[in-house]
Amino acid sequence: MEQASIEMTKVTKRFGRVRALDGVTVSAGPGVTGLLGPNGAGKTTLMRMVATVLAPDEGIVRLLGRDPARAGERVEIRRRLGYMPQEPGLYQRFTAFEFVDYVAILKEMTDRRARHDAVRRALDAVGLTDVAHRKVKALSGGMRRRLALAQALLGDADLLLLDEPTAGLDPEQRLRFREVVSQLPHRPAVLLSTHQTEDITAMCERVFVLAGGRVRFDGSPEALAETARGSVWVDQDRDGGALLSWRMGDGRYRHIGDPPAGAAMAVPTVDDAYLLMVGDAREAREAAA
C-alpha cells in the first residue's frame, strides 16, 4: 500500500469566531486528488496548511511522512513541495524567466546552469518559452496564471498543490493544463483545488468535497456522481419543488432534489452530485442560523 502523502486528522482552524476547518480528517497519496467546494468552504485554508504556511489550531498534519510543526522536517517538506497559491503574487518588474529563476533560488537551486535548465523546462511545460523575456506586467492574465504554475512545477515536486489553477484560463489553456499535470514524471501527489467540476471529472482519481469547513465527501468522482442517483430528473416543464433546476439546450428542464412520483430519472453527473451536496449544506447552514 502506498504511503499517504497528505494525512490530516481531526484538524480544526479558526479565524476569530469562524471555523474555517472543523475536524477535517483526510488522507491522499500519489495521483491527482480534487478539492471541491463553494467559496468559504475552507479549501484555501486546507491548501495553505498542506503548503506548511499555516498551522492548525487542533489536530495532526503529516506531509510526506513528516511533521510540519518541526522546523527541520518542515524544511524537508518544503524542498519537495510545489505550490501555486490562489492569488500568486508575481514581481511585475521581473521577466517571466527572472521570476521563475527567483523561485528556483528560493528552492535552493544554487548552480546557475542547472537552475536555468530547470527554469526553461518549467516555462516550456506551460507554453511560455516564447514570452520568457517579457516583463510580468506585460503578460496577459492567462499567461500569469501559467507562470504561477511554472514556478510550482520547478524541481519535480513530490507534493504539488494547485489552488484554482484553471481560473481565468481559456478552454485551450485548460486542456493544456490537464496535459501538463497528467504528464508529470514520477507520479507526485497533486492536490487540486477548484470550482470546475469538469477538471475533477477529467483529471482526478479521488475527490474531497468541502463545505462549511467539513468534509462532505471523500471518494472517486464516479462515486461522487453516484450519490446523486435517484435525485436527478428531466421534464418538459420546470418543477417548482426541485432544489435546483435549469433549462437545457434541448428545451427540457433538468432538476435536482426529491423527484416527484413517475419522474424520468437521468444519469447523474459530478456536477449534479456537487450541487446537491452543496445545496444541502447551504440549507443546513441556513436552518442552523
Partner 1 sequence: MSWHVHEDTIDAYVGGRIDEASAFSLEAHLLACASCRDAISTRVDVGDQERIWHGIREQTDRPAVRTAEWALIKIGVPAHTARLLVATPSLRSSWLLGVAGCLAFAVIASRAIGQARTPFLVLAPLVPLIGVAVAFGRPVDPAWEIGLASPTGGFRLMLLRATGVLVTSASLAGAAALGLPRPGWSAAAWLLPSLAVTVLTLVVSSTVVSVTSAASGVGIGWVVGVTVVERLSSAPLAAFGPVAQIAFAILAATSAIVLVGRRDAFERPTQV
Binding site for partner 1 (CB under 8 A): 15, 48, 51-55, 68, 71, 74-75, 78-79, 81, 83, 85, 87-92, 94-95, 97-99, 101-103, 105-108, 110, 112-113, 115-116, 119-120, 132-133, 148, 151
Round to whole Å and give the CA distance between 43 and 26.
13
Tell me the closest approach of the beta carbon of residue 157 to partner 1, in angstroms: 11
**Closer Cβ to partner 1, 70 or 247, answer by number:** 70
Query: What cell numbers appear for 81 in the block?
Result: 513541495
Cβ at position 111, least distance to partner 1 in Å: 9
- CA 54 to chain centroid, in Å, comes to 17
When the beta carbons of 133 and 187 are compared against partner 1, the nearer one is: 133
Within the chain, how many helices (H) and strands (E) appear? Answer: 9, 13
From the CB of 79, what's the least distance to partner 1, in Å? Answer: 5
Q: Which is nearer to partner 1, 146 or 254 (CB)?
A: 146
d(CA 258, CA 231): 6
Nearer Cβ to partner 1, position 98 or 205?
A: 98
Distance in Å, CB of 83 to partner 1, minimum = 4
> Would you say 35 and 46 are in contact if contact means Cβ atoms under 8 Å apart?
yes
Which CB sits closer to partner 1, 10 or 133?
A: 133
Q: Least distance from C-beta 108 to partner 1, angstroms? A: 5
Residue ranges of E strands in 199-263 = 206-211, 214-219, 232-235, 244-247, 253-256
> For the chain, where are the alpha helices, taking DSSP H only?
43-50, 71-79, 96-106, 112-125, 141-153, 171-182, 197-203, 221-226, 270-288
Query: What separation in angstroms does the CA of 117 have from each of 91, 95, 107?
Result: 21, 16, 14
Nearest-angstrom CA–CA distance, 266 and 259: 11
Residue 249 neighbours by CB distance under 10 Å: 5
Closer Cβ to partner 1, 65 or 241, answer by number: 65
**Strand ordering across the sheet containing 58-63:** 18-28, 6-15, 58-63
Nearer to partner 1, 144 or 254 (CB): 144
CB of 254 to partner 1, least distance (A): 39
Smallest distance, partner 1 to C-beta of residue 224, A: 29
